């Protein structure tokens, strides 16, 4: 640990691999907020996001040996674990069932009025299915999960310019499909 009470990335990785509790506390203190924000953008519910965040840090602790600095920075690796854990949560039966119950409650009791279903995205999935997979993933991350282009570049481990070009091309294709 440095004199300022912080770690360089390499020092942190070495300490985590040595199972240093202080390094893990440092990691949690400095990265949990960012990871929570990303998780919340995907799962949308604070209590579910807290559960995923806990699972993410357990996975980081258990899998730190598999981290390879050649493939990317530590934050990128943790971001991918967060993203994958969030998506796993969304796909789980328990989460899907709780969402169905939540949606009914919100619709019926939201403001004392029955609210109208948001139909903006209904039917769009058939058009997304026509896109090339590398374009579809970027559109879903940007427009349905709320990631910035910079975050997408880091998640997908591709250059920012490539992300922007692919999203632009995908939007042009979607516009043609919608005509």
Determine the angle formed by the axes of helices 46-63 and 21-43, rounding to 10 degrees: 140
66-79 pLDDT tens trace: 998 888 889 889 98
**Complete domains list, the chain, with CATH:** 1-117 (1.10.1740.10), 120-179 (1.10.10.10)
In contact, 90 and 42? CB cutoff 8 Å: yes
Q: How many CA within 13 A on the CB side of residue 44?
A: 10
Q: What is the reported pLDDT for 124?
A: 62
Q: Give SS3 for 22.
A: helix
Lowest mean pLDDT, pick from 105-109, 110-114, 127-131, 139-143: 110-114
- Nearest-Å Rg of the Cα atoms of the chain is 19
């Amino acid at each position: 640990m440095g004199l300022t009470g912080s770690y360089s990335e390499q020092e942190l990785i070495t300490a985590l691999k040595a199972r240093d509790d202080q390094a893990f506390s440092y990691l949690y203190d400095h990265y949990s907020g960012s990871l929570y924000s990303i998780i919340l953008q995907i799962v949308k519910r604070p209590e579910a996001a807290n559960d995923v965040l806990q699972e993410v840090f357990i996975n980081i602790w258990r899998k730190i040996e598999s981290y390879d600095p050649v493939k990317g920075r530590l934050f990128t690796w943790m971001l991918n674990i967060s993203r994958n854990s969030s998506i796993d949560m969304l796909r789980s039966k328990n989460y899907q069932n709780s969402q169905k119950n939540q949606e009914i409650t919100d619709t019926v009791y939201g403001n004392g009025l029955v609210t109208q279903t948001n139909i903006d995205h209904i039917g769009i999935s058939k058009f997304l299915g026509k896109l090339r997979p590398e374009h579809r993933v970027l559109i879903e991350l940007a427009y349905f999960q709320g990631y910035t282009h910079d975050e997408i570049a880091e998640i997908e481990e591709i250059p920012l310019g490539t992300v922007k070009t692919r999203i632009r091309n995908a939007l042009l294709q979607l516009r043609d499909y919608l005509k």
